């Protein structure tokens, strides 16, 4: 190799000629690229890699079930793989076997090798329809990671129906070619009539807490209350997240691209690829919201004959057409391609998983970014639950001026979702998190330091549903900061915050009125006795007492105070899609709160309550709710029929409007078969 001499006479590094450089040029396969850059796919450290593998497999199972119209039953099993016989503690283990089984439609035999061992191969990338998966990378990347770290192939069992045979495959990726290598392919006996089971062996680390597999599954259950999820932890524990919503989300429709959403290059490509014979036909047929009349109008404005063959349109004419399209008023894209979670299901999920005193949910109307329709949803769970709230405050040291109570300094927790999938990493890069920070929570009665999260026992839920979620990277961890998206999230959070503000203000006012009333009530006995003495014992004391109690009540807010404190069973007035939990019972969307136990009755005993709760969101587990009464306005109250029983009885009981149902404690079986008392609200 020629070496150049520097001016000082020393020999420099070898010089390479263009020919030599040319000889080194090589195509890079997508698998090779992602092998080197696996951090881009969420495999940057063993703990995160374990989560990414679970996430990709579960997302696919849920997508497949929903698309096939099947209520998903998904099992996730994490097992420790040891080299020798000595058992290893889960936190010390470095290798895991992940098995995810679903009851979905299965995968046809011919497709299995490419689905699991070829990057950028999938059914979702090219269509405009909401789904968890988008890119066609996820599960094959997880398989590739397993292959890279343990050398083991992906094992797949799939069956497309009870009459079809179950097929077992072992596949790996040929990373040089990005093509599958099939090591095993046979028919087997499988106990499931239909579905798919994927087994991956990977290097990983299991640690509970924030951004763990446990947290991800818990959050998945919040946003997907129609899913029944069973999780077998590496510790050998089985947790079940029961189905609390028995309807599938409405199936999203596939739509065509909106003209505003495409870039010039994409238009050129579409003109070449279209099956339409004329430009007008192309515009009306290949885009949504373009009628034949509008297509003709656009052609006219672009000075292009509507009958021109699309392939004959020259780049210059195409550019004029592109500008014309952008300048034309076109209806926003249809939104039936998106399936939001919905206020009821969000409330149900939050109520099921998080102990609190106030819950609310907001679904915004559809909006559009870059031609892609999207919907933002927000939810709030506030408080620690009435049991915690009722606990006597610890004798505390007097607070200095401006100093907060202990729980006040606890920051809110934000749980983020994209197309129903929890996002656990890169929080600060996410548009949802930025919107939470920029919301002025002080306006809603919550303390907040400048540029910080609001303080208090609060969980803030944000969901973006779209046909294409703009993630900041292929690992799909944070949503990019488009102005339209940011604005919608802010509006949803403001509405949820406004409702929280109403609840807090009302509760504060009512509590102080109630204290005042108690003081009046205390003196009524004394006053009546004194008056009676003055009148020589001839006073109708009971009547006077009753009158004085009435006055005390009306002077301290009357029924309104009782309502705000949850003492009447009336719903939270002026707070739509909300639940208020008080020591007396629940108010508002009581039907939602009742759905969990009903669901439980249909499925084996859940073990959720047995799992360790996270510090800021203690899990509710299964709870028997005993809402009190229907208000005189005809609001319904739910009757609990006993522990774990079906709780579908909703009856309007206007006559009982002031009688609180007695609450009992009844024993209930846990998953392990031991009796556990149900929660008692009083």
Ligand X SMILES: Nc1ncnc2c1ncn2[C@@H]1O[C@H](COP(=O)(O)OP(=O)(O)OP(=O)(O)O)[C@@H](O)[C@H]1O
Annotated binding site: 60, 102, 123-124, 133-140, 476
Q: Which residues bind ligand X (CB under 6 A)?
A: 56, 59-61, 64, 102, 104, 107, 115, 122-124, 133-140, 196
How far apart CA 35 and CA 653 sit, in angstroms, is 65
Quote the tokens at residue 335: 């939104």
Residue with nearest beta carbon to ligand X:
133
Pick from 151, 115, 14, 124: nearest CA to 63: 124
Report the relative pairing of strands 367-369 and 675-677 from DSSP bridges. Answer: unpaired
- Taking CA atoms, 130 is separated from 120, 252, 339, 468, 599, in Å, by 18, 6, 7, 7, 27
Quote the tokens at residue 656: 């009982």
Nearer to ligand X, 120 or 429 (CB): 120
Nearer to ligand X, 422 or 454 (CB): 422
CA angle, residues 566, 356, 376, in degrees to nearest 5: 110
Least distance to ligand X, CB of residue 139, Å = 4
Least distance to ligand X, CB of residue 156, Å = 9
Q: Residue ranges of the alpha helices (H) in 75-160?
A: 112-117, 138-150
Quote the tokens at residue 430: 């996410």
How far apart CA 173 and CA 121 sit, in angstroms, is 12
Three-state DSSP class for 22?
A: helix
- Taking CA atoms, 29 is separated from 5, 152, 178, in Å, by 39, 21, 6
Contacts of 150 (CB under 8 A, 6+ apart): 81, 95, 201, 202, 203
Nearer to ligand X, 56 or 214 (CB): 56
Tell me the Ramachandran region of residue 415: left when phi exceeds 0, alpha when psi lies from -120 to 50, beta otherwise: beta
Nearer to ligand X, 167 or 577 (CB): 167
Nearer to ligand X, 68 or 583 (CB): 68
Least distance to ligand X, CB of residue 408, Å = 40
Nearer to ligand X, 56 or 513 (CB): 56
Least distance to ligand X, CB of residue 68, Å = 8
How far apart CA 34 and CA 31 sit, in angstroms, is 5
Contacts of 415 (CB under 8 A, 6+ apart): 219, 222, 422, 459, 460, 461, 462
Least distance to ligand X, CB of residue 134, Å = 4
**Contact indicator for 466, 419 with CB cutoff of 8 Å:** yes
Nearer to ligand X, 474 or 610 (CB): 474
Pick from 560, 578, 571, 573: nearest CA to 510: 560
**Contact indicator for 267, 283 with CB cutoff of 8 Å:** no
Nearer to ligand X, 62 or 78 (CB): 62
Three-state DSSP class for 202?
A: strand
Nearer to ligand X, 123 or 232 (CB): 123
Nearer to ligand X, 42 or 457 (CB): 42
First-to-last alpha carbon distance for the chain, in angstroms, is 87
Three-state DSSP class for 316?
A: helix
Least distance to ligand X, CB of residue 473, Å = 12
Nearer to ligand X, 49 or 137 (CB): 137
Beta strands in 41-165 (DSSP E): 73-80, 95-102, 154-159
Cα dihedral angle (187, 188, 191, 193), rounded to 10 degrees? 10
Least distance to ligand X, CB of residue 421, Å = 9
How far apart CA 184 and CA 173 sit, in angstroms, is 13
**Contact indicator for 222, 349 with CB cutoff of 8 Å:** yes
Beta bridge partners of 235: none
**Contact indicator for 470, 369 with CB cutoff of 8 Å:** yes
CA atoms within a 13 Å half-sphere pointing along the CA-CB vector of 60 = 25
Least distance to ligand X, CB of residue 132, Å = 7
Nearer to ligand X, 63 or 563 (CB): 63
Nearer to ligand X, 64 or 643 (CB): 64
Indicate the annotated binding residues for ATP.
Answer: 60, 102, 123-124, 133-140, 476
Quote the tokens at residue 545: 């007492």
Least distance to ligand X, CB of residue 173, Å = 11
Quote the tokens at residue 34: 């992602």
Angle between helices 264-273 and 279-286 in degrees, nearest 10: 110
Least distance to ligand X, CB of residue 481, Å = 20
What φ, ψ does residue 614 adopt, rounded to 5°? -75, 160
Cα dihedral angle (53, 58, 63, 64), rounded to 10 degrees? 100
392-404 CB burial, b ≥16 within 10 A, e <16: eeeeeeeeeeeee
**Contact indicator for 607, 670 with CB cutoff of 8 Å:** yes
Least distance to ligand X, CB of residue 489, Å = 22
């Amino acid at each position: 190799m020629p070496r150049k001499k520097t001016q000082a006479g020393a020999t420099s590094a070898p010089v390479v000629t263009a020919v030599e450089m040319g000889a080194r040029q090589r195509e890079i396969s997508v698998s090779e690229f992602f092998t080197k850059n696996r951090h881009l796919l969420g495999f940057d450290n063993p703990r995160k890699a374990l989560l990414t593998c679970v996430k990709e497999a579960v997302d696919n199972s849920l997508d497949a079930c929903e698309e096939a119209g099947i209520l998903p039953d998904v099992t996730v099993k994490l097992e420790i793989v040891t080299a020798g016989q000595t058992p290893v503690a889960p936190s010390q283990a470095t290798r895991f076997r992940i098995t995810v089984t679903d009851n979905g439609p299965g995968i046809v035999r011919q497709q299995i090798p490419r689905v699991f061992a070829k990057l950028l191969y999938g059914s979702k990338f090219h269509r405009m329809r909401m789904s968890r998966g988008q890119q066609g990378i996820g599960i094959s990347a997880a398989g590739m990671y397993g292959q890279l770290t343990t050398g083991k192939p992906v094992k797949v069992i799939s069956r497309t129906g009870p009459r079809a045979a179950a097929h077992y495959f072992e596949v790996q990726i040929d990373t040089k070619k990005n093509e599958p290598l099939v090591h095993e392919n046979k028919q087997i006996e499988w106990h499931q009539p239909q579905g798919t089971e994927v087994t991956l062996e990977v290097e990983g680390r299991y640690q509970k807490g924030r951004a763990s597999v446990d947290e991800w599954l818990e959050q998945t259950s919040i946003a997907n209350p129609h899913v029944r999820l069973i999780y077998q932890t590496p510790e050998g524990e089985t947790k079940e997240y029961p189905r609390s919503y028995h309807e599938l989300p409405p199936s999203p429709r596939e739509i065509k691209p909106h003209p505003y959403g495409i870039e010039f290059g994409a238009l050129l490509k579409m003109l070449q690829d279209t099956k339409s014979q004329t430009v007008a036909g192309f515009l009306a047929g290949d885009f949504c919201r373009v009628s034949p009349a509008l297509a003709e109008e656009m052609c006219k404005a672009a000075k292009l004959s509507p009958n021109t063959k699309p392939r004959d349109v020259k780049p210059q004419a195409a550019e004029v057409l592109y500008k014309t399209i952008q300048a034309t008023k076109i209806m926003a894209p249809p939104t039936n391609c998106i399936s939001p979670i919905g206020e009821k299901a969000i409330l149900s999920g939050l109520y099921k998983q998080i102990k609190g005193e106030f819950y609310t949910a907001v679904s915004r109307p559809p909006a559009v970014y870059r031609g892609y329709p999207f919907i933002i949803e927000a939810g709030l769970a506030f408080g620690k639950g009435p049991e915690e709230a009722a606990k006597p405050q610890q004798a505390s040291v007097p607070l200095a001026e401006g100093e907060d109570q202990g729980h006040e300094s606890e920051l809110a927790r934000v749980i983020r979702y994209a197309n129903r999938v929890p996002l656990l990493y890169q929080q600060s890069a996410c548009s949802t998190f930025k919107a939470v920070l920029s919301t002025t929570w002080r306006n809603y009665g919550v303390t907040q330091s400048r540029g910080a999260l609001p303080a208090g026992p609060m969980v803030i839920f944000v969901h973006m549903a779209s046909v294409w979620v703009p993630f900041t990277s292929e690992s799909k961890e944070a949503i990019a900061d488009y102005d339209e998206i940011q604005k919608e999230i802010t509006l949803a959070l403001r509405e949820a915050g406004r409702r929280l503000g109403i609840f807090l203000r009302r509760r504060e006012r009512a509590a102080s009125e109630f204290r005042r009333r108690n003081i009046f009530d205390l003196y009524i006995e004394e006053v009546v006795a004194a008056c009676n003495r003055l009148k020589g014992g001839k006073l109708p004391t009971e009547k006077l007492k009753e009158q004085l109690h009435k006055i005390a009540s009306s002077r301290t807010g009357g029924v309104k105070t009782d309502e705000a404190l949850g003492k009447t069973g009336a719903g939270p007035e002026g707070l739509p899609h909300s639940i208020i939990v008080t020591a007396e019972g629940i108010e508002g969307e009581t039907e939602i709160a009742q759905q969990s136990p009903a669901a439980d009755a249909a499925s084996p005993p859940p073990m959720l309550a047995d799992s360790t709760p996270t510090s800021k969101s203690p899990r509710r587990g299964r709870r028997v709710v005993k809402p009190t009464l229907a208000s005189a306005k005809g609001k319904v109250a739910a009757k609990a029929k006993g522990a774990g029983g079906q709780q579908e009885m909703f009856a309007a009981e206007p006559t009982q409007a002031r009688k609180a149902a007695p609450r009992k404690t009844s024993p209930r079986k846990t998953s392990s078969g031991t009796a556990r008392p149900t929660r008692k609200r009083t």
